[in-house]
Amino acid sequence: MDIPTYIKNSIQQVEGDAKIWIDEFLQRLSTNANILEVGSGTGRDANYIEKKGYIVIRTDIYPEFIEYQNEKYKKKVLFFDLKQEIIPDNFLKKFDGLFVRSVLNHFSFEEIKEILRRLKLVLKSNALFAFNLPNNIFSQKIIDYLKQENFNLISLNISHKDGWVYIIVSSPYPQTSL
């Protein structure tokens, strides 16, 4: 990825079907929710979410994105690599919300399964997880895998305007025994 060119051409507004999806995600969370964003990039969505009063822990793997947000918005961005086996020590707690936009399309289905298994570990029970995938990469087997992992599907919107599928699921919550 040519990050300087990506940053130069990036749109800083949250709009269209992505905005509808983010707004639904936020409406389902209380404003004191802690939201982890993986792959914050230029910080567009974290800025939008924070303006609505929520707390966002921003993360990325590339120094260019981390420095861009440090310099432009004076925001701290933690290093977090989805492919690393260990959840970083600086993630002191579990999160109420997990937001991963336009990131999972960089991985194969087998990698996504592994990533989802690990991300589950940073979520509180009944937390919300929003992610998207391009139409041509999305497949029902991802939803089937999430169900197998006891996530519950909250919403799934296929955007014919921008070519992405927008998904919100909730993490498993403990079953009470009768």
Number of Cβ within 10 Å of residue 163's Cβ equals 11
| Cβ proximity of 151 and 129 under 8 Å | yes
Q: How far apart are CA 73 and CA 46, in angstroms?
A: 11
In the bound complex, what is the minimum distance in angstroms from residue 41's beta carbon to ligand SAM?
3
- Name the residue nearer to ligand SAM (CB basis): 69 or 171: 69
- Name the residue nearer to ligand SAM (CB basis): 107 or 172: 107
In the bound complex, what is the minimum distance in angstroms from residue 34's beta carbon to ligand SAM?
18
In the bound complex, what is the minimum distance in angstroms from residue 42's beta carbon to ligand SAM?
6
Positions in the binding site for ligand SAM (CB under 6 A):
38-42, 44-45, 60-62, 65, 80-83, 101-103, 106
Q: How far apart are CA 32 and CA 101, in angstroms?
A: 21
- Coil, strand or helix: which one is 90? coil
- Name the residue nearer to ligand SAM (CB basis): 10 or 152: 10
- Coil, strand or helix: which one is 119? helix
